[in-house]
Amino acid sequence: MQLRRSNIRQLAEREFDVLIVGGGINGASAAAALSGKGVSVALIDRGDFAGSTSMHSSNLVWGGIKYMESRDFALVRKLCKSRNHLIKSYPSTVQEIRFLTTISRGFRYHPRYLWAGAWLYWLIGNAFTRIPRFLSPRSIKAEEPIVDIDGAVGGFEYSDAYLHDNDARFVFNFVRGALDFGATAANYVESLGARREDDGWVTDVRDRMSGETFTIRSKVMVNAAGPWVDELNSLSGQATGHQHVFSKGIHLIVPRLTKSGRVLAFFADDGRLFFVIPMGARTCIGTTDTRVEKPEVGITEDDIRFVLDNINKRLSLDKPLGKDDIIATRCGVRPLAVKASSGGDRDFLQLSRKHAIDIDAANRHLSIFGGKLTDCLNVGEEIVEEVRALGIEIPDPEFRWYGEPDADRRDAFMAQAHAMQLDELTADHASEPLSTRLWRRYGDQAMELLEDIRRDPRQGEVLIEGTEYLRCELAQASRREMITRLEDFLRRRSKISLVVREEVIRQSPGLHEACELLFGDQAEARLHEYLTEDNGALEEALSPGAESDNPAHSETLRW
């Protein structure tokens, strides 16, 4: 908590070149890019970093194969290049994964036509990944016995990529990078609106933990509030050329269904791609695509029934999946950018996730609409160029602000880990060796964890039952990761609450010690807050307009 308190003091006392409001993937990458290149940056979020759309993704980093059908080849090319760049820049985190897609009889395209499309997709992506394959129903069954091939006419396999860890963790590492580059960032700081004063911006904010209000001064304002960009612009009197419409998506986390390490892809009853995604000892299944009017959403019985019905139709399981098998859920909205002049009336099912940046040059204000994790490095670089065009000096324009430490540093870490026999501490239920996981998650800072374990072997023990997180990781999180509420650690810096049932977490004998490590003298208050709050999903109903315009899981859906 000391890091957050110190940063809040700086937010109130300094004037910044740029204030970024919103700590999702757009705001986090923009903050890392600007601060890495020498710009003074402030970053705030009214909740935790990556606390909305950026923690509800499918964990997939993909080149937009679904846009092949609409022949948006320029977008596919851009996303494939972005995917390739991420794989090269984050080899421990963003990794190639195979997708096996089964095609049923009566589908609108023959599987060999789709296989040919997968080859074109591979070529558009510079042949960077493994080549596609065509599979007969018999081959599908041989390689993935759980797939129900009754009615199948074939399938194909191709490659994209996925995040080996969780999406919110990936986003936070951009925030941590920005802090290391000199940015000042704080979570749970809410913008109450901004105004122009003395040729700059004065933003009124509230610390949502203490209730105190103060102002932040900056030369440039970047609105990266994700689904709330329009709402924030209205507070500051900004008119923009774009606006958002919203599509709700959910995923269910269930026990592991297959050990193959592939993503199984099907075309669901509504015609869109439907995924079975590996998540260590768990499996993530989904997603839905439902038009909603507001970004505040919750999972409904209809959502759960849709996902379970679709997966049970397409897999041959010993026992069909039911609600009791659900370990955790993910539910969020995709903010889709549309021209404000369209009024949001165009068919949102045909909208892409491409981002748009609206610029008010006279007032030095930027708004980021849409976007997705795959394109995050492009967003960061584009914001740097737009800020430069607004008259802000970029002291180190060639600085590389992203990517893992180089191979020599990784080898040095692995050598030390091997010398101290670190991997012998790997838990029996762990999905990978401990050295691999610590390097991927912490990079250079993983060296500090080795020293902690050497000094006190208890630091290498798992603290919360059923997880892979060590005592020393919680101490590291307390020092460097701005954990403000227990849920910040359980859901976003880690993925504990995605892979361990809530009742198991709550009853874990290590939970109290975890709070002491994370919060010190505030441990009891933070633990009580977590144990008494309702973490369950709320029912959410569509507005009449949304229901009639795009009923949930529409049969016309083509994503």
Domain ranges for the chain, please list them.
1-54+167-240+340-390, 72-164+245-337, 407-533
DSSP string computed for 103-151: EETT-SS-HHHHHHHHHHHHHHTTT-SPPPEEE-HHHHHHH-TTB--TT
Report how far residue 65's alpha carbon sits from residue 297's, in angstroms, rounded to the nearest whole number.
Answer: 27
Report how far residue 285's alpha carbon sits from residue 498's, in angstroms, rounded to the nearest whole number.
Answer: 13
User: Could you tell me if 187 and 3 are in contact, meaning their C-beta atoms sit under 8 angstroms apart?
Assistant: no
Strand partners, 195: 202
Structure tokens at 315: 């897999």
Please tell me the predicted confidence (pLDDT) of residue 274: 86
| DSSP 8-state code for residue 488 | I
Low-confidence residues of the chain, pLDDT below 70? 342-352, 534-559
Please tell me the predicted confidence (pLDDT) of residue 542: 33
Please tell me the predicted confidence (pLDDT) of residue 273: 80
Report how far residue 502's alpha carbon sits from residue 328's, in angstroms, rounded to the nearest whole number.
Answer: 8
Report how far residue 168's alpha carbon sits from residue 499's, in angstroms, rounded to the nearest whole number.
Answer: 14
The CATH code belonging to domain 72-164+245-337 is 3.30.9.10
The DSSP bridge pattern shows strands 365-369 and 213-223 to be parallel
Report how far residue 476's alpha carbon sits from residue 474's, in angstroms, rounded to the nearest whole number.
Answer: 5
Question: E strands of 341-492, at which residues?
Answer: 356-360, 365-369
Please tell me the predicted confidence (pLDDT) of residue 452: 95
CATH architecture of 1-54+167-240+340-390: 3-Layer(bba) Sandwich (3.50)
The CA-atom distances, in angstroms, between 103 and each of 88, 93, 132, 136, 143 are 32, 30, 15, 10, 15
Residue 535's Cβ-count burial label (10 Å; 0-12, 13-18, 19+) is middle
Please tell me the predicted confidence (pLDDT) of residue 271: 74
pTM: 0.92
User: Could you tell me if 223 and 368 are in contact, meaning their C-beta atoms sit under 8 angstroms apart?
Assistant: yes
Please tell me the predicted confidence (pLDDT) of residue 66: 86
Report how far residue 26's alpha carbon sits from residue 346's, in angstroms, rounded to the nearest whole number.
Answer: 25
